[in-house]
Structure 1
Amino acid sequence: MSTFRDRFAAGRGYLAACTLGLPADVTREAVLADLERWASGTASAVEYSATLERARGHAATLLGVDAARVATGSQVSVFTGLAAASAPAGAEVLCIDGDFSSVVAPFLARSDLRVRHVPLADLADGVRPDTWMVSYSLVQSATGEIADAASVADAAQNAGARVLVDTTQATGWLPTTDLDADLIVCHAYKWLGAPRGAAFAAVSGRLADELTPYTAGWYSGADPWSSCYGPDLHLAGDATRFDVSPAWHAWAGAEAALGFAASLDAAEVHDHALGLANAFRGRLGLDAGDSAIVAWPDAEGADLAALTAAGITASGRAGRARVAFHLWNDLEDVELAATALGR
């Protein structure tokens, strides 16, 4: 797996895939080629649509669903917002205490919904008979902890509740092809190394029937080129009716990035990233874990400052220092980070 370092222009000491991923060579080339086409006046709206459809197929592969179930957009919160706007008045939504705001805030914005927060470990047990939806991140942004998706799905099914799972901090290093959820949402700019502004979602048949496509526009029709004008409402019969008009230049890079990620052996990528994370945990005296994200208490920011001073790109969240290991990293990065911390 370390041979993939050659696919990235940078990466030594870059431990921040959980903040902003790096583009592989094919992604960089696609973005530069798109810029040249745009600048030369040869860019084509029809070609951008073809690019998006290829990207949709790659996204479907990464989520293990049919492409007809995949909607494309710009941000996770847009898809969460559709779920929140479509929830019946008085419905209960169950969230993880301290989860990323994009899977929480849209529900809180509606004063007539009951949003309840529980610790990550209690998420499955927190599902009640009157829970309408469970909305959570598969991998917690601040801590790197991984939710027990199977247990949550079982509990939700028993209660008749819907499930929204955000895989932004998972897809790209953690296989996400076997999730049982009504709405899987993902932004591709982290572990997938795509430009920011390319997000996608997989929608179940049940939820597709319940969601109102409030963001419907010219790209939500079965043939976008015939749905550019009113007075009629043009909606596709599948999940593409939830498409948001694509940010073309972002998707030019995202198509290459998603295709690259989909071509890799997902188990091999997982073992590589997790192996490096656990090697680093060992250097810190921490127990082995199950996440490629390593976070530890750093309330004063001293450890983050030491990493930064040593040329390591890391991050701090919620009073913790946070590093992540991905395709461009190897054991030398573990050594550099551990040495910077005096370990």
Structure 2
Amino acid sequence: MENATLNTEVVSRAALTVPKRSLGSRLWKERYCFLLLLPGLLYFIVYRYVPMLGNIIAFEDYSPFQGFLHSPWVGMKHFQRIFEDAEVVRVIGNTLLLFFLQTVFAFPVPIVLSLMLNEIRSERYKRTVQSIVYLPHFLSWVVVIGIVTIFLKTEGLANKVLFTLFGMEPISYLQEPHWFMPLIVLEGIWKDSGWGTIIFLAALAGINPNLYEAAIMDGANRWRKIWHITLPAIRGTTVILLILTLGSVLDSGFEQIFLMLNPFTMEVGNVLDTFVYYKGIQQSDFSFGTAVGLFKGVVGLILIVSANWLAKKIGEDGIF
């Protein structure tokens, strides 16, 4: 027994005296793994981090002729304009309203859809339904808005059906301001809800089947199993996705909004993404447009950190 203990101590001391590899040697040993990471790292460096240096013009009265280094420095002038400009306040209101509608109506749809797909017992029928609901995700917004325009224009299919069945006069869905927000939310649900179910279906696949068997032995029906087993099992995934969603509270999606906007809906449909484009590119107010974009990014970062902190306080893992 004493010999065994002595041998263990010798081995432990020998392990402690093994010299640690240098950083260079470890990088060389894992060189092929880092080589695989290189394209992704280059993408983020070139297209994400390097352009961030251009945010300096938010603190300048930038002129393309004077450049970054010689344009006059104005400090927080353009950020003050954000809260003094009535148009910016209206645009922020539109953005927050759209985010609220998308969170309330669009965010729960993938959860409900994944729960419904999870209850299908026929694998062939389940795979068929999954394929059908996934397909819209692979359509570009140009195609989606084109389809919506064909169906909802004044002489489109929707108005023809309403006139044929109910004798209703044509409705200008695309020109009526009060239809803009509902159409944006419905388009997002149709296009991306099926794709969003992938994450929740993966979470559902990790639930222990013994839990359902035990619930059946206790007399639980299908709704009880969903409420007491399924939903708690995907709560962590839901919280993480909600945190990521909060990070994009001021990011409404430029392409969809831009394609849906027209002079009739500009008042209610202009959001921060499109405002930055119109102000910064079309009107050449580069510094103010950059200040609005930087403000949007900072708010998103604060919300992500705050939501992650709150998630950890209630017992979830969070994203970092």
Measured against the shorter chain, the TM-score band is under 0.3
Q: Which has the higher strand share?
A: 1
Q: Which has the larger radius of gyration?
A: 2
TM-score normalised over the length of structure 1: 0.22
TM-score normalised over the length of structure 2: 0.23
